[in-house]
Amino acid sequence: MELSTLPIHHRLQIIIFTLLSSAVLLHATHPILAGIFRFLTTHLLLTTVTSLSAAVVLLFHLRSRPYPVFLLNYSCFQPPDHRKCTYDLANNFILQGGRFTSMQPVEFMRNIYFKSGLGNDTYAPPFMFEDEQNPTLRNAVQEAEEGVFSAVDSLLSKTNVLPEEIDVVIVTCGSFSPSPSISSLIVNRYNLRPDVKTYNLSGMGCSSGVLSVDLAYRILRGGGRKISNVLVVVTESITLNWYEGEERSMLVTNCIFRVGCAAAMITNDPSRRSSAKMELIHSLRTHHGADDSSYHAAFQEEDGKGITGVSLTKDLIRVAGVNLRQHIKILAPRVLPLSQLVRYVYSVITAAMSGGQLKPIVPDFTTAFEHICVHTGGKAVIEQVGRVLKFGDSVTEPARMTLNRFGNTSSSLVFYELAYFEATERVKKGEKMWMIAFGTGFKVGSLVWKWIRDPEPESDNPWNDSIDQYPLKVW
């Protein structure tokens, strides 16, 4: 076997062995030459060992360094116009079929609807437009399939990512978990590879869209080049969660939740950076379920008559505020500029020395981000976030408009809000965006993005048919 065909570390071993053998022979025949040769050999060996060590350290550093993660693109599902949930449609639906034995729950829902901040252009599930209007498993699957297939079809077309190039599928659907799972539905529909990794998440509420991206982020940062493309699908099927009892805390969900779905392609492929929309530069998720009030703030259970529903307690808004404060205590040092951090630390020390008479200031997060996607869970939630973080109406406008146009679409809500930023052409290359969402459990999730390029108009932006009407003065 020729020396040139051997691996480099084997060749170095042979060369060093040859040199040392020569030194031994020379020492026996000529002491002076042997000394010179031994001196050169020692330095050569030291240099070789040092170079190899440096190379190993550099290689280890490069291999262990987290990969940058990018949002290649995303798509939001927009149901057809005949699925719009106007006030008249919603009112007629609850009055038909003898769903309620008294008018008290009907009047309560009407009152919630008028105060909710939702407009007449949100979308209802398919079963509400059928003659019998009875929610069935078939209807729930239909709702999920329509949203998922539409969003994924559009996404694959925009990104030019082939199904066989998808390495991981992450699906989240908070309260609908059929068998086979929705992730299996996607694998079957798009004929994905047998070795594709799938995750099917449920029970995490409105925060699960952000938390799914967080999961993709952590997989891609440590997955190496063997994992390059993660398909994230965030949806909800509200068909089987229509509540027909009379418990007021459970009737609220009938009024604010609407149909929605989004799909996103997350990648760590550096060759796709120039075509990606944003880079995900930070992610944080906190779980506050150890506290009983937080754990029970939004809870699926049976009412006194055995009818299942999701109870949104009066304590939910307070819990959201308390847990948001805990969340930003962790997030702030990682994202705020030094000037804000110094002011905040000073205020904390002053408050401690005042014996409780003073409170620490709330850092100004608008100094860290040009744009903020506030969780659009409902009017009261948006207002609470605004109060806690001292946001003006201009900051919460995208959330308020998204709630008006699409309602609470649960896990996908941040993507509809993201589409609003693009439709209004208010984001630019180099700017940072903060997404924050809450969910049952109680969980808070944050994503920090940096725009890689100026957004371009998208033919499937769900705001294309209505953006000229916004912003509205709805509150």
CA 247 to chain centre: 32
Number of neighbours of residue 157 by Cβ within 10 angstroms: 13
Calculate the dihedral angle through the C-alpha atoms of 170, 172, 177, 182, rounding to the nearest 10 degrees.
-40
Q: Which residue from 244, 117, 247, 233 is spatially nearest to 173, judged by alpha carbons?
A: 233
Residue carrying the six token digits 């999920």: 144
Number of neighbours of residue 442 by Cβ within 10 angstroms: 25
**Cβ pair 408, 206 in contact under 8 A:** yes
Q: Which residues are catalytic?
A: 206, 287, 371, 375, 408
Query: What does DSSP assign to residue 58?
Result: H
Q: Which residue from 323, 320, 129, 162 is spatially nearest to 228, judged by alpha carbons?
A: 162
Which residue type, as a one-letter code, is found at position 241?
Answer: N
Residue carrying the six token digits 């979308």: 123
267-305: b or e for each residue (b if 16 or more CB lie within 10 Å)?
A: bbbeebeeebbbbbeebbbbbbeeeeebbbbbbbeeeee
Collapsing DSSP states into helix, strand and coil, what is residue 69?
A: strand
CB proximity list for 45: less than 8 A, separation 6 or greater: 16
Cα separation, 220 vs 69, in Å, equals: 7
Strand order in the sheet with 443-451: 197-201, 168-173, 229-235, 261-267, 69-76, 278-287, 443-451, 432-439, 371-373
CA 411 to chain centre: 9
